[in-house]
Amino acid sequence: MSVKEAIDLHLEGVVEDGVELPVRRAIGEHLANPDFAKGVWATVDVNLARFDVSAEKVNITLPRRLLAKIDGYAKTHGETRSGIPGDAARLAMQRENA
């Protein structure tokens, strides 16, 4: 496993646990921290955009009957219309990766 893969895996876990991503800081700040005094330093470029959990509006087309069922399910289970397809997509991808 490469360093980039290890960092990506760690950040995926951080996001899935609902923890905020660490704030990027200059190496000088870390060097000044006594907890890291004997550390070995390297820099790695990581694309944090894929860990962005902010909502994005999308336009999808679903059969009217399915949408009515989604709305009914969401209402009785305290969910949202948008949450149901999102949950279904996550479950489908988890099954594929299992």
Domain limits of the chain? 1-54, 57-98
pLDDT digits (tens, 9 = 90+) for 23-66: 777 888 888 989 988 888 888 888 787 787 778 889 999 999 99
Q: What local confidence, expressed as pLDDT, does residue 63 receive? A: 96
Mean pLDDT value of segment 74-94: 87
- How does residue 98 score in pLDDT terms, banded at 50, 70 and 90? low
String of b and e for 48-57 (b: at least 16 CB within 10 Å)? eeeeeeeeee
**CB–CB of 51/21 below 8 Å?**
yes
Helix (H) or strand (E) holding 85: helix 83-97
Mean pLDDT, the chain, whole residue set: 86
Q: Which amino acid belongs to residue 63?
A: P
pTM: 0.49
